A and B are shown apart, each in its own frame.
Chain A
Amino acid sequence: MATLSRADVEHVAHLARLGLTDAELGRLEGELNHILDQYAVLARLDTDAIPPTAQTIELENILRDDVVGPSLPVEAVLANAAATDGPFIAVPPILGGDEGTAQGAEPG
């Protein structure tokens, strides 16, 4: 099975949105490769004809009527957010680092 390089570890950390220190990246490179070694036993099993199991109790098609029910009040939902603006959660710019484009310049 595959071996993870330092660059791979950095790539996976980025995919997972984990900001890791150099020390953490170095330690994880060793630990993850050690754990991946343990996965190698699975290669001994021929599973080509075996279907995957994602769910063990065989429940199917649990249906309910599509009716509007009560939701949490807006204040209760906002109470845990780090920053709010009126009835909204305030978030940092989501598009790049350039604040002008992130806010979406008003077209003239």
Chain B
Amino acid sequence: MTAGTEPHALVRLAGHEQAALLRTGVVSSRDLTGAHLDVAQRQNRALNAWLKIDPEGALAQAANADTVIAGARAAGATALEALHPLHGLPVALKDLVSVKGGQATSGSRILEGYLAPYDAHITERLRTAGAVILGKTNMDEFAMGSSTEHSAFGPTANPWALDRVPGGSSGGSSAAVAAFHAPFAIGTDTGGSIRQPAALCGIVGLKPTYGRVSRYGIVAFASSLDQIGPFARNARDAAALLHAVAGRDDRDSNSAPVPVPDGLLRLPADDEAAAALRGKRLGLPREYFVAGMEPGVEARVREAVAALEAAGAIVEDVSLPHTEYGLATYYIVAPAEASANLARYDGIRYGPRLGDGDVMTTYLETRGRGFGAEVKRRIMLGTYALSAGYYDAYYLKAQKVRTLIKGDFDALFGQGFDALVAPTSPTVAFRLGEKMADPVSMYLSDACTLPANMAGLPGVSIPCGLSEGLPVGLQLIGAPWSELELFRLARGYEAITASAPWRAMEPTELMLADDPATPTPVERAAALAGTH
């Protein structure tokens, strides 16, 4: 291979740079896929980012992609340009996305052995785009958690510090992209499960507007909140992945008939993106600088805001007065919906069936032993909140407060703000085990992200520097259907910070992750528990 295309350099290229090499024929999709598979397989012992790596399937998809590229090249420049930007490029899927004939554990023992009988809508769309599916990533069980420690298959380590969590629930996807196992990954976000791990791993992650992406074939958590979205190491790649999977699908009746802008495939270059920041009106919600926020996180976010202001954006202090009620509201609505969605896991139609005797014994045994501690906690909370005599006091009350939370956002966007700017997470990546003993402390990780889910709004987390050597995320929240605007703002911020020293840094413990003698995350967690 020529200089810059040996595997170590290849996987470090942005997705759109890899796509350019494919089109000029400098590398093949098999080269790219092989290079990413190698690093994923080598580092998975130390990171546990993947629950399934599929070399045979991925290389077969890559060979197909190469055939299509060869055909397009023979047909001329127009045919080559017509290929989707994701064509031939590796993508990681969170292990709750159905891929026909493959596993979809959702991080749970109760789905062990289950093989999806059909492709999810987004899987179909990725196949149509020509993307190469490398495998399935680790996650908190049923997407319930903020650290990936609630996976039934062991936690994932953060490539910036292997003793720390990658965030969650989509922590396998965020760690894989940060560690150069894939340029693209899919996650889901119910209360922050894309944005928070993106922040903690130093990458870009977007939760789209509720209804932007069809959830057909995705394991459900809380149906009025769940959205699918992209991870990448830059705004341009994340926008291209969103473009590939977004749009109306009859099989998810909550997916909206709203056009997907092709501008997602043409984000502006540095000069234009930076110039476009001038005159943008950004709100800085004071309630997001919460008690318990780490000073280093607040400092990085305020520096980012100052940089946007210096580039000509108009930043105004604003208030979202019902923010303090978000956490309680979310932790009623989400568990209530989850308790209903997870009723289907009963050992009858799929998954292991435990217990001898009548069907009640089967239910109690299968669910009692199949679900982990956090999932049981949420099912209990949700069942209680929906039970006779408590529905009005909890679920109905929470839905009414949800109206107030949404109203706060509606009022600001009605005044013409282009976006709100806030921290993504109040802390940098925390230590394995640190928040496992106290569920409420774990829930607080989502305080800055879950309001966007409650209001159905899009939000993106982008890297904005380091605190104590660990990544900090800047969150931009927009009006409904404003993903393109958010990505343009993100592109602008990338442009004005292009020469910042932290932009050139990569995760600090990749060498350690390469070492076959490095302990697994399970071993690390056990060692840390011993020192508490």
Residue A72, interface by CB 8 Å: yes
- Binding stretch for chain A, among B297-305, B358-366, B419-427, B508-516: B358-366
Interface centre among A4, A38, A51 (most CB of B within 10 A): A38
Interface centre among A13, A24, A39, A83 (most CB of B within 10 A): A39
Residue B170, interface by CB 8 Å: no
Known: A42-B401, A81-B349. Is A31-B377 also a contact (CB below 8 A)? yes
Closest residue on chain B to residue A43 by CB atoms: B397
Closest residue on chain A to residue B209 by CB atoms: A57
Interface size on A, residues (CB 8 A): 53
The answer on a CB contact under 8 Å between A42 and B209 is no
The answer on a CB contact under 8 Å between A76 and B376 is no
Known: A31-B439, A52-B403, A56-B456. Is A38-B328 also a contact (CB below 8 A)? yes
Min CB distance B362 to A, Å, is: 5
The answer on a CB contact under 8 Å between A18 and B358 is no
Residue B380, interface by CB 8 Å: yes
The answer on a CB contact under 8 Å between B384 and A12 is yes
The answer on a CB contact under 8 Å between A77 and B224 is no
- Binding stretch for chain A, among B73-81, B136-144, B250-258, B524-532: B250-258
Residues of B within 8 A of A31 (CB): 377, 439
Closest residue on chain A to residue B212 by CB atoms: A57
Residue B162, interface by CB 8 Å: no
The answer on a CB contact under 8 Å between B324 and A56 is no
Cα distance A47–B401 in the bound complex, in angstroms: 7
The answer on a CB contact under 8 Å between B381 and A53 is no
Min CB distance B99 to A, Å, is: 14
Closest residue on chain B to residue A39 by CB atoms: B328
Residues of A within 8 A of B92 (CB): none
Residue B117, interface by CB 8 Å: yes
Residues of B within 8 A of A38 (CB): 327-328, 331, 440
Cα distance A39–B333 in the bound complex, in angstroms: 11
Residue A105, interface by CB 8 Å: no
Which positions in A face B, CB cutoff 8 Å?
1-2, 4, 8-9, 12-13, 15-21, 24, 28, 31-32, 34-35, 38-39, 41-42, 45, 47, 50-57, 59, 62, 64, 72, 76-77, 79-83, 89, 91-94, 96-97, 102
The 9 closest A-B pairs by CB, nearest first: A56-B456, A19-B368, A19-B364, A52-B399, A82-B353, A80-B350, A47-B400, A17-B363, A76-B117
Which positions in B face A, CB cutoff 8 Å?
113-115, 117-118, 209-211, 224, 250, 253-254, 256-257, 322, 324-325, 327-329, 331-332, 339, 343, 346-353, 355, 357-365, 367-369, 371, 373, 376-377, 379-381, 383-384, 387, 390, 393-394, 396-404, 406, 439-440, 454-456, 480
> Apart from A54-B399, A80-B117, what 9 extra A-B contacts exist at CB < 8 Å?
A16-B339, A18-B371, A28-B380, A31-B439, A35-B439, A38-B328, A59-B256, A82-B352, A93-B357
Q: What would be 18 A-B contacts, judged by CB atoms less than 8 Å apart?
A: A17-B360, A18-B371, A28-B380, A31-B439, A35-B331, A42-B328, A42-B397, A42-B398, A45-B322, A50-B404, A56-B224, A57-B254, A57-B256, A81-B348, A82-B353, A89-B349, A92-B361, A97-B358
